[in-house]
Copies of this chain bind each other. A is one copy, B any other.
């Protein structure tokens, strides 16, 4: 019997096609393996080409020379950093000038690097860059929301090979964030505790969908995972804002993020994926009803009319089986 599962955090109902469920291996997409060079002369993110992306905003210095992580303005930003973000209303119409911040965080000098296979210290440096730029973006009074994300591969929306993440500050609170906060607030009002803390406790108790955990974080497929390898990484300590993370937690986050991505990478043969940080602004970091977290979405399936029309998803894999598969992956080294 197929199941329709409810995700109280998103409000989504997800159809879990239990009977026609595919085996995890069936989601491996054959793709042409391109051997990437470790340096590409035309790549604007490669060392030596720093003048192709001017205006560096942040860097982590290398042990010997040069940088190991840098953040630069996105050349193809849809938003621009000048002007004011006043609402312009005209009857039913409401608009704002496209004021905002958009940077690219170059994760490594190595053109053919991969977040899952970088040294742990490098992943920590990337997270430090995230944290630093996240806080800096919120210093701009025009910015109402900051989103950190990574597009890995073409199906995930990037054609740039060089490993990079992006950070965008918008002068509006995105609708999806508002809806998540409303759901969280409603639950907190009804039950007097954080919906996310409660969900994490339940996931840890169930155990079957946990992929890996450490002292500060747990990575799992949610009970109502939207897609075959839809993963969440929750901090165990309650907090609504990513930038309030303590130094020891940042190390633990690097460990778990690297391991989860490596399991995805090895198990599904380097699929395209997105990583998304969901967080409130620093000034809302101490609210009791919301909880920051990471979402990882390997792009092994595609949204069609049903998903566009309903916001519901059909997951053709059992989250429990997907978690078991990822737990069982033999990691190199």
Residue numbers of A with Cβ under 8 A of B are 1-6, 8, 10-13, 15-18, 20, 76, 78-80, 83, 91-98, 145, 147, 149-151, 155-158, 166, 168, 170-172, 174-179, 198-199, 202, 223, 274-278, 295, 297, 302-312, 314, 316
Contacts and interface: CB of A to CB of B under 8 A. Distances in A.
A95 B3 contact: yes
Contact of A176 (B18, B92, B168, B311): B311
**Copies of this chain assembled into the complex:** 2
B94 A149 contact: no
A18 B98 contact: yes
Given A179-B179, A202-B93, A304-B274, A83 B1 contact: yes
A150 B304 CA distance: 9
A177 B310 CA distance: 6
28 contacts: A1-B83, A1-B97, A2-B98, A3-B98, A4-B170, A5-B95, A6-B93, A11-B175, A11-B178, A13-B174, A13-B175, A17-B98, A92-B202, A145-B310, A147-B310, A149-B304, A149-B306, A151-B304, A156-B305, A166-B306, A174-B310, A175-B312, A176-B309, A179-B179, A276-B305, A276-B309, A278-B309, A295-B309
A175 B311 contact: yes
Nearest to A13: B172
A233 to B, nearest CB: 14
A15 B79 contact: yes
Contacts of A309: 147, 149, 176, 274, 276-278, 295
B314 A157 contact: no
A177 B306 CA distance: 12
Contact of A4 (B171, B199, B311): B171
B1 A80 contact: yes
Nearest to A155: B302
B94 A8 contact: yes
